[in-house]
Structure 1
């Protein structure tokens, strides 16, 4: 079918090429032979009067024109999928939707387990594909390659809708044998001690505490950089190093590791709001809305994190006060 001279099937080919960045893989993904895909590429180039794609060795490189067309083509196809093809009322019990979600190990451990359990009861055919935060979270969301993004709200753009899930604060953690944490931690001692920090994405962007310290031109001693918050506690065992992490996750690990939790000697203990964001095009998608509503409901059921000022300086048997949980 042609629309103003454009064969609309070519949009499907263009989207596959921009997603796979490989002619053979793109052809396979939309059930075309490689000669048919090559013919589609030739027709795309002719219609748009642009090379669209070039090769540098084995690297598939889209031209600026192709990059500009990619988001529009993906949005058009998603709109057809959501508003024309997926016209039946949503029934969770019959859905086989696979949700692609960017989230941290922190959210997975302290929050999403309960979401998966509930989804299994209400929609046993629904599945999840968890992906770690990257350097191009917003681009993946824009292209529709992920369904949801769950991050601290401060790291989200205003380009897509979002809503709050829950609040948390940061705390300092160390091994229970770390004698430097046996008394209130001063800012000077915090900065001088060896740190285990988490880095996100390919460039290992550091967390909220590093953002605060850089703003005030402060630099701490970083001994180890890990790829997730869950890797911080094991790196502290039997050492004098410390780490900075969300309180909810610290309390989770304090139940299974000799971890002590102390106040973070930074202003307001770096509170943050964890939020969920989705592509604007999915705002009225009933399946996405069903999951988003579930996330908000489960987030509202989380108890407020204990105020950092109430944390024990000398933790008990498990590194925390049982009354805190």
Structure 2
């Protein structure tokens, strides 16, 4: 299809229809009458060979094709808007914007103070809304409901952008006066203890269990919690053992009565990664925030 033969105004109409899920509401958002928007929908149905919106009771719902088109269309219109907008010098001090970020309390404990200081100093009008990681961080980035995510990711869609922030490694943590654990922790002791596990995305199991399974061994996970600090606080008041980030454990060790020990099995270090959608690549405000994360990581987690 030749681009010259396509009415690009239909893209704007399509975005409004997919966003509103209603011909009338889409027309109002564009300043068009309902008949005019109905005509645009008819043209789009012919162009795409898909009904896009179908009746469901008193309302209308998107077809699977329409659902699939929505994130691509949003990214395309954002890019077109950037192309047609005049270039302006970006000044963080003048920025007033809210960023939604998925991250664990692990990340906030390690980077939170350094990141907050940089943002307050450079862009006092910026609001940061932190939320727990989701099992579908990638999907939420695609649909634009979140601006950035930070976490440990193994498999990701190839189009997403990544930037390494810092590495961490595992330690085992018990309370200082634990009745059976002294200065060292053997594998036999490790397996005999009841374990507490931090599962930020709500899925029990993980790397430690995989490494034990390779040795035909398993541990008993008696408690699973979603937050690192909650796990460390619970360990302080129990006989559980917790295998956790060394950076977080060291950060809270001065004010919790904890003992940090090397794990009794080989566990590789892991990387915390900054993740975003490519439609944000050229956005100067988003680029500035990514830089703030990188600089905070260099300062707080060298």
Counterpart of 2:164? 164
Is 1:93 aligned to 2:93, yes or no?
yes
SS of structure 1 residue aligned to 2:255:
coil
TM-score between both structures, scaled by the size of structure 1: 0.77
Q: Give me the CA root mean square deviation.
A: 3.6
Aligned residue runs from structure 1 range 1-325, under 5 A: 3-4=6-7, 7-17=10-20, 48-52=48-52, 62-85=62-85, 87-152=87-152, 154=154, 156-201=156-201, 203-204=202-203, 206-214=205-213, 218-267=217-266, 269-302=267-300, 304=302
Work out whether residues 14 and 73 of structure 1, in 8 Å CA contact, stay in contact via their aligned partners in 2.
no
Which sections of structure 1, spanning at least 5 residues, go unmatched?
A: 305-325
Structure 2: which 5+ residue stretches go unaligned?
A: none
Following superposition, the deviation at residue 157 of structure 1 comes to: 4.8
Matched residue pairs, number? 298
Deviations along 1:28-69, one digit per CA (max 9) or x if unpaired, are 999999999999877765654434456889999643212321
Give, in whole Å, the separation in 2 of the partners of 1:22 and 1:213. Answer: 54
Cα distance in 2, alignment partners of residues 232 and 29 from structure 1: 48
Distance 1:200 1:55 in 2: 39
Contact 1:166 1:302 in 2 (8 A): no
Runs of 4+ that moved beyond 4 A: 21-47, 53-62, 214-217
SS in 2 for 1:117: helix
* Mapped contact 2:110–2:301 kept (Cα < 8 A): no
Q: Which has the larger radius of gyration?
A: 2
TM-score (ref. length: structure 2): 0.82
* C-alpha contact (below 8 Å) 2:16/2:26 kept by paired residues: yes
